[in-house]
Amino acid sequence: MAEAKIPKATAKRLPIYYRYLNILFNAGKQRVSSTELSEAVQVDSATIRRDFSYFGALGKRGYGYDVENLLNFFKKTLNQDHLTNVALIGVGNLGHALLNYNFRQTNSVRISAAFDINEAIANTIQSGVPVYPMAEMKEQLQIQQVDVAILTVPIEDAQIVADELVDAGVKGIMNFTPIRVSVPATVRVQNVDLANELQTLIYFLDHYGSETTNN
């Protein structure tokens, strides 16, 4: 496969190129020169030409690069043409913040449905995302083919909700609660304990701060 031959450094620049080409495309531009690209993405034009040569001869002398062709190529390579819908359970303070954030930096992931036990928030739309009652979770996750869920419920409900997610067929849980939930080996859990991360940072600053931050 051609993709296997792309050097790591080139691969790292792909998202940068991709983001800028998207802007050009949305602005209706059909072509772009490597000099123009170079100025916009702060990569020298020789590197851009070399990078692009790995993707096949997409550029033409005196014409530049076809924006749409490049964009389609990058979309495939970056898997950006494949949108992953994610669910969020527990629309409290943190849940709200994540709904509002909604991973806008990437075009490939978005929170498409949220769930909450609180009847005052269920059946409303929050930051553009529909919030369903918990009773509809299993059905909605299956209809929407959601495999990944973000868990932002209170600690005491984390395990119960994790069990419900497993029962609904979810394959991955991003756990923002400070407890470790138990799940079958077929389900993957990624723990994000913000308080813990912050305390770790403060601990390192207190103990090694001046030695490590100066270099």
Q: Is 90 in the site for ligand ATP (CB under 6 A)?
A: yes
Q: Is 134 in the site for ligand ATP (CB under 6 A)?
A: yes
Per CB under 6 A, which region of 19-27, 28-36, 109-117, 141-149 contacts ligand ATP? 109-117
Among residues 16, 41, 78, 94, the one that binds ligand ATP under rule CB under 6 A: 94
Per CB under 6 A, which region of 47-55, 69-77, 149-157, 196-204 contacts ligand ATP? 149-157
**Residue partners of 208: CB distance under 8 A and separation at least 6:** none
Q: Is 92 in the site for ligand ATP (CB under 6 A)?
A: yes
Compose the 4-43 pattern: x for residues touching ligand ATP by CB under 6 A, - for all others: ----------------------------------------
Q: Is 152 in the site for ligand ATP (CB under 6 A)?
A: yes
Strand partners, 132: 115
Among residues 93, 105, 213, 214, the one that binds ligand ATP under rule CB under 6 A: 93
Please tell me the distance from the alpha carbon of residue 73 to that of residue 54, in angstroms, as a whole number.
12
The residues that touch ligand ATP, with contacts defined as CB under 6 A, are 89-95, 115-118, 134, 152-154, 157, 160-161
